[in-house]
Chain A
Amino acid sequence: MTPNEEASFVQPHFHTTPANPNKQKPTKTRSFVPVILIGIALGYLALMLYIPAINVFYQAFKNGAGPFLSNLTREDFLSAAKLTLLLALIAVPVNTIFGLCAAWAIARHKFPGRTLILSIIDLPFSISPVVAGLMLVLVYGRNGWFGGWLQEHGIKIIFAFPGMLLATAFVSMPFVAREVIPVLEELGSDQEEAAQTLGANSWQTFWRVTLPNIRWGLLYGLILTNARAMGEFGAVSVVSGNIAGKTQSLPLFVEDAYKQYETEAAYSAAVILALLAVVTLVLKGILERKTGIKSTKAH
């Protein structure tokens, strides 16, 4: 018997041999159960997620690309887009510096109250954005703590750009720290100690040893920070005053246009924000495949 013949002879018995490595999938599962479960899961996702997501693009382009493009050149849209970019451009680096410092400080030291500080860093996730905005008003507003002093010196924070920046930074604060802490902890400090015994100073150690090791986690945190910073609505709308062309970021523009029954303009801006979300998801997907990390804390 040739090997081929042997194989074809054995094959019919496959169903009865229990220890067949090719059949790790549970054959006991009756095939209709998975189908029903997959169907329910997909149905739920379609209703809650996919149909609304498709609708954003449909509404923006249902009259062709012409109205979409003309909406994109509106004065107030352009200024909203610029403001959103500017907010992210400042809030993301600031939060990255904070996140790296906090991650370093927390992951590298065991001390009493460590869990407490971790929870404090997480707080912006559990505080309602409106409450966050309210707190800023109570500190920097006209009748707030620093209100009098700020007014004397002619500094406007609430209903102006600085307030929006504070709100943006507040809601996107924990992401970098959250993503980098576990990476640093898993890494351990052996390599850093080795570098230091070889005479590297702490800056060199960070730049040459730590940063390359945490780069994917850091990038992941950056992407999430950026998405939240550009998309934040609640906290920003409390402190912005919402003046079109002046203190209106893109998400505020979307809501304002919708309320003024300019649905087309609202959807044109919404598509831009949805594309931001798509880019975020794609980058996240690439990073997850590269590193095997998966954030469960990504609020």
Chain B
Amino acid sequence: MTVSSPSSPQQKARNKTPDWKKFLDQFFHLPWTWRITLGYLTVMLIIPITAMFLKAATKSPAEFWQIATSPIALSAYNVTFLTALITALLNGVFGTLIAWVLVRYDFPGKRFIDATVDLPFALPTAVAGLTLATVYSDNGWIGSLFAPLGIKISFTSLGVAVAMIFISLPFVVRTVQPVLQEMEKEIEEAAWSLGASQWQTFWNVILPPLFPTILTGVALGFSRAVGEYGSTVIISSNTPFKDLIAPVLIFQRLEQYDYSGATVIGMVLLVISLLILLAINFLQSWARRYDTK
């Protein structure tokens, strides 16, 4: 009874009721796979998230707002979101470039580079923070090049940016790469043969269909950067009003047993990550429109 062939709208409507009924039937019978899935999701996700919402709800809206917008919290959001946004956009540009280079050109060591782009996914964040803090410190390999110019990277918000770039680097590359691979070269060649320059071809022919995909990668990277803790806490000096990020602020509140303070700021982060998740889902369905064309 599989409906694999594209069916007319009417057929679909007729098939809809049995499908739905089947689902209800299955739901009441609950095969054990479903029981495990729903049970695990409840214990691991639904209960903790509900606990957090209820804890936040014990605060009156005015109190909530006051904690959520306290000066220290505002400056932490500022450092977190602004830095995450800038680094995500930077990775959008360079990630697209890396994907382009990996898809379109051949050069020695290409396969090695392709494989190692995923390093930030595999490398524990504490290790990333440790080595970035060393390399970008005033006497580190890269930091010492900037120190004479008066630019300090480790233990400033610039360091936070470096850590965020590191941990979110693969997202854009890995989202753009497969799309670029499937893109037909004929279209580009047609544009060339019609006299478009390389830049025009890129700007008018390649970029528009690629754009939603790049944005998806940027959003994924942004969401990861906003929540990142391990590498940023090590490379930052965690000084309030300077380079203190929101996750570290939550951590500090917890250390002071200020659970409601931690919860309020945690709620802000949670809601924002949910919004980003929605945005990513929307972006992905936008990008998918180009698949069928």
A residues contacting B by CB (< 8 A) are 26, 28-29, 33-34, 37-38, 40-42, 44-45, 47-53, 55-56, 59, 97-98, 101-102, 104-106, 109-112, 115, 117, 119-132, 134-139, 141, 143-145, 166, 169-170, 173, 188-190, 224, 227, 230-234, 237-238, 250-252, 254-255, 258, 263, 266-267, 270, 273-274, 276-278, 280-282, 284-285, 294-296, 298-299
Contact = CB atoms under 8 A, between A and B. Distances in A.
Which applies to chain A's interface (DSSP): helix, strand, loop or mixed? helix
Interface string B248-292: 101100100001001100100110011011000100000000000
A30 to B, nearest CB: 8
Contacts of A281: 115-116, 118-119, 122
B33 A104 contact: yes
14 contacts: A37-B101, A38-B101, A45-B116, A47-B142, A115-B281, A127-B227, A129-B229, A129-B230, A130-B227, A130-B251, A138-B48, A139-B47, A237-B230, A276-B122
A121 B37 CA distance: 10
Given A34-B105, A123-B45, A267 B130 contact: yes
A40 B125 contact: no
Interface of B: 2, 19-20, 22-23, 26, 31-34, 36-37, 40-41, 44-45, 47-49, 51-52, 55, 94, 97-98, 100-102, 104-105, 107, 113, 115-135, 140-142, 162, 165-166, 169-170, 174-175, 177-178, 189, 192, 198, 220, 223-224, 226-230, 233-234, 246-248, 250-251, 254, 259, 262-263, 266, 269-270, 273-274, 276-277, 281
Contacts of B49: 123, 135
B241 to A, nearest CB: 20
Contacts of B119: 49, 53, 277, 281
B51 A138 contact: yes
A271 to B, nearest CB: 9
Which applies to chain B's interface (DSSP): helix, strand, loop or mixed? helix
A189 B250 CA distance: 47
A258 B129 CA distance: 10
A42 B52 CA distance: 44
A273 B273 contact: no
A119 B281 contact: yes
A53 B45 CA distance: 34
A251 B94 contact: no
B192 to A, nearest CB: 6
A250 B126 CA distance: 9
A299 B226 CA distance: 13
Contacts of A26: 189, 192
A105 B47 contact: no
A130 B250 contact: yes
A111 B23 contact: yes
Contacts of A232: 124
A21 to B, nearest CB: 15
Given A138-B55, A277-B124, A270 B130 contact: yes
Given A34-B105, A104-B33, A134-B250, A231 B130 contact: no
B125 to A, nearest CB: 5
Nearest to A113: B23
Of the listed residues A277, A280, A285, the one surrounded by the most CB atoms of chain B closer than 10 A to its CB is A277
A279 B52 CA distance: 37
Of the listed residues B52, B97, B124, B259, the one surrounded by the most CB atoms of chain A closer than 10 A to its CB is B124
Contacts of B175: 296
Contacts of B20: 111-112
Given A139-B47, A255-B130, A126 B277 contact: yes
B223 A126 contact: yes
A280 B127 CA distance: 15
Contact of A48 (B162, B174, B262): B162
Of the listed residues B134, B178, B223, B262, the one surrounded by the most CB atoms of chain A closer than 10 A to its CB is B134
